[in-house]
């Protein structure tokens, strides 16, 4: 066995470290701010609701990821990635100094736009740097870290807010963002401007931004507050998205190439990402309620309880990527979702208002490990079955589906939680159990769809690293000995 096939980690590079760190920064910022909402409400909202600080960030990300991903295929990853870091960092600085809620909300919209540019351009940078099995390992490391970063946000947020106040969750982004920008300038290669014979699809892009922005706003609103304005917003979202789909069939260079979904493997990967965010974000929200309201754990303790899940997901993400060298992708992804289903089902069986916290560790580890094994190969499949010049579009599609999954998961699982639960430790436990059972059933469904849509006939086994070096790049000395694409 050669050195490249026996390696368990991707070769370290500044590009990999950069995109992983930036992905973690963006994902953590989704949830870390929520911990400071009570203090934000008292300080700059006059005791009113400060939920817009969280909602606007997610709306901006959800509305812009697909558009920015498609534009990066034309304008270049380096330019848009650097722009995203700069916008995110400057908006974080402005949020730190916000004098009032309106100013803070505007900065969060701008921060969300920068976050969208970071996330959607991070993934395409990896196929340009790595090839073959190393590419799968690098994508696996990125995907695992991005998914698991949200699990450590409660612990980090609790420590920062308790020590320095709510402004610290924005201030911490400034030195990290500056460091990331300097590193990006040094390590990201200067590539030729991508050639494009057609103009960007501006009409389709605008329709998509309007439709996704309206839809994301609706998903993040509590179902109990639905009114006539929401009905109008829903109608606008549906019309805008239908207009977008119609436009994509007519323009020569669409924002979203609908023919990608004709590939069963890509469709299977897209469904897996959607379900993954439903389970990870939606399921975690209501498990956190159980830890706080039924077990009476402090936010810091609850966050620490989730830390082993973060570690397990990181480790098994790399293992899942390595398994692609020996097993069919559908089997690897299916195994991950099966492990997820087992962990969720075990949690549903053992939770009570008096369950010792340590008894939850093994099922939580199974949940995290399953997410790591399944999540990393899913991203590799989505990239590997798509033409290299469409990687930005693929990253936009996957990121958009992830955002939609998080919103749908939180909303739908919230309805289930409310229907089966209520106030008091026992009611919260009953609602959480119903959510966990639903998540376990969705995981089992993901196993079946994955095995059907992602199979060896549709997804070839990766070639040795260096066998498919990107065009226009010079292979490394190690890569030159590994052969070339036939």
The residue-averaged pLDDT of 89-109 equals 90
Q: Which ranges of 220-360 would DSSP assign to H, the alpha helix?
A: 228-248, 264-277, 283-289, 299-323, 329-350
- Under the banding of pLDDT at 50, 70 and 90, the label for residue 465 is very low
Q: Which of 383-392, 440-449, 465-474 has the lowest mean pLDDT?
A: 465-474
Q: Are 173 and 89 in contact (CB under 8 A)?
A: yes
Q: Are 144 and 375 in contact (CB under 8 A)?
A: yes
Q: Tokens 């558009």 belong to which residue?
A: 67
Distances (CA, A) of 303 to 140, 292, 362, 365, 416: 24, 10, 16, 14, 24
Share of residues in the chain with pLDDT > 70 (%): 81
For 126-167, write each residue's pLDDT tens digit.
777 777 677 777 777 777 777 667 666 767 777 788 788 888
Q: Are 302 and 291 in contact (CB under 8 A)?
A: yes
For 360-403, write each residue's pLDDT tens digit.
899 999 988 888 888 777 877 877 777 666 777 777 787 777 77
- Please tell me what DSSP assigns to residue 221: S
- Under the banding of pLDDT at 50, 70 and 90, the label for residue 486 is very low
- Top mean pLDDT of 12-21, 41-50, 111-120 is at 111-120
- Under the banding of pLDDT at 50, 70 and 90, the label for residue 338 is very high
Q: Are 469 and 486 in contact (CB under 8 A)?
A: no
What is the gyration radius of the CA atoms in the chain, in angstroms? 22
Q: For residue 80, is pLDDT > 60?
A: yes
In Å, how far from its chain's centre is CA 316?
Answer: 17
Q: For residue 115, is pLDDT > 80?
A: yes
Q: What's the pTM?
A: 0.70
More confident residue, 91 or 258: 91
pLDDT of residue 147: 67
Report residue 283 as tokens.
């399921």
Concatenated DSSP letters for 425-457? Answer: HHHHHHHHHHHHHHHHHHHHHHHHHHHHHS-TT
The residue-averaged pLDDT of 402-425 equals 77
Q: Are 278 and 413 in contact (CB under 8 A)?
A: yes
**Burial per residue of 149-171, b for 16 or more beta-carbon CB atoms within 10 angstroms, e otherwise:** bbbbbbbbbbebbeeeebbbbbb
H or E segment and range at residue 394: helix 391-420
- Please tell me what DSSP assigns to residue 359: G
For 265-277, write each residue's pLDDT tens digit.
888 888 888 888 7
Q: For residue 244, is pLDDT > 70?
A: yes
What's the CA gap between 450 and 445, in Å, rounded? 9
- Distance between the two ends of the chain, CA-based, in angstroms? 22
- Top mean pLDDT of 25-29, 69-73, 296-300 is at 25-29
- Under the banding of pLDDT at 50, 70 and 90, the label for residue 317 is confident
Q: Tokens 């908006």 belong to which residue?
A: 91
**Burial per residue of 364-392, b for 16 or more beta-carbon CB atoms within 10 angstroms, e otherwise:** bbbbbbbbbbbbbbbbbbbbbbbeeebbb
What's the CA gap between 451 and 443, in Å, rounded? 13
- Under the banding of pLDDT at 50, 70 and 90, the label for residue 467 is very low
For 156-203, write each residue's pLDDT tens digit.
777 788 788 888 889 989 999 999 999 999 888 776 555 455 566 778
The residue-averaged pLDDT of 209-222 equals 72
Q: State the architecture of 11-189+255-463 in CATH terms.
A: Up-down Bundle (1.20)
């Amino acid at each position: 066995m050669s050195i490249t096939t026996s390696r368990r980690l991707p070769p370290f590079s500044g590009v990999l470290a950069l995109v992983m760190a930036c992905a973690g920064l963006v994902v953590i910022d989704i949830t870390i701010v929520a911990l400071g909402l009570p203090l934000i409400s008292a300080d700059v909202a006059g005791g009113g609701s400060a939920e817009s600080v969280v909602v606007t960030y997610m709306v901006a990300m959800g509305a812009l990821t697909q558009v920015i991903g498609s534009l990066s295929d034309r304008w270049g990853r380096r330019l848009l990635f650097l722009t995203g870091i700069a916008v995110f960092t400057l908006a974080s600085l402005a949020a730190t100094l916000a004098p009032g809620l309106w100013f803070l909300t505007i900065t969060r919209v701008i921060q969300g736009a920068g976050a969208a540019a970071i996330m959607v351009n991070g993934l395409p940078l990896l196929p340009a740097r790595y090839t073959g099995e190393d590419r799968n390992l690098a994508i696996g490391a990125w995907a695992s870290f991005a998914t698991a970063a949200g699990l450590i946000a409660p612990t980090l947020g609790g420590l920062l807010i308790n020590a320095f106040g709510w402004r610290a969750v924005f201030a911490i982004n400034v030195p990290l963002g500056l460091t990331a920008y300097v590193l990006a300038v040094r390590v990201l290669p200067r590539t030729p401007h991508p050639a494009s014979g057609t103009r960007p699809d501006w009409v389709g892009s605008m329709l998509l931004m309007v439709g996704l922005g309206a839809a994301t706003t609706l998903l993040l609103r509590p179902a109990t507050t639905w009114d006539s304005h929401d009905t109008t917003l829903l109608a606008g979202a549906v019309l805008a998205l239908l207009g977008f789909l119609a436009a994509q069939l007519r323009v020569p260079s669409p924002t979203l190439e609908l023919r990608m979904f004709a590939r069963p493997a890509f469709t299977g990967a897209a469904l897996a990402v959607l379900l993954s965010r439903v389970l990870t974000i939606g399921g975690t929200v209501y498990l956190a309620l159980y830890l706080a309201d039924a077990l009476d754990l402090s936010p810091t303790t609850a966050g620490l309880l989730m830390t082993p899940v973060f570690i397990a997901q990181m480790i098994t993400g790399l293992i899942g990527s390595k398994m692609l060298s020996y097993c069919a992708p559908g089997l690897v992804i299916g195994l991950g979702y099966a492990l997820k289903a087992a962990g969720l089902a075990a949690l549903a069986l053992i939770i009570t208002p008096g369950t010792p916290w340590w008894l939850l560790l093994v099922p939580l580890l199974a949940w995290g490990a399953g997410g790591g094994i399944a999540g990393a190969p899913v991203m590799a499949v989505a990239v590997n079955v798509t033409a290299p010049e469409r990687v930005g579009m693929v990253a936009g599609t996957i990121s958009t589906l992830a955002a939609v999954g998080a919103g749908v998961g939180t909303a739908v699982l919230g309805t289930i939680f409310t229907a089966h639960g209520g106030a008091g430790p026992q009611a919260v436990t009953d609602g959480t159990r119903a959510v966990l059972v639903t998540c376990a059933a969705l995981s089992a469904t993901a196993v079946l769809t994955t095995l059907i849509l992602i199979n060896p006939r549709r997804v070839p086994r990766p070639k040795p690293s260096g066998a498919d070096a990107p065009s226009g790049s010079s292979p490394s000395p190690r890569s030159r000995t590994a052969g070339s694409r036939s």
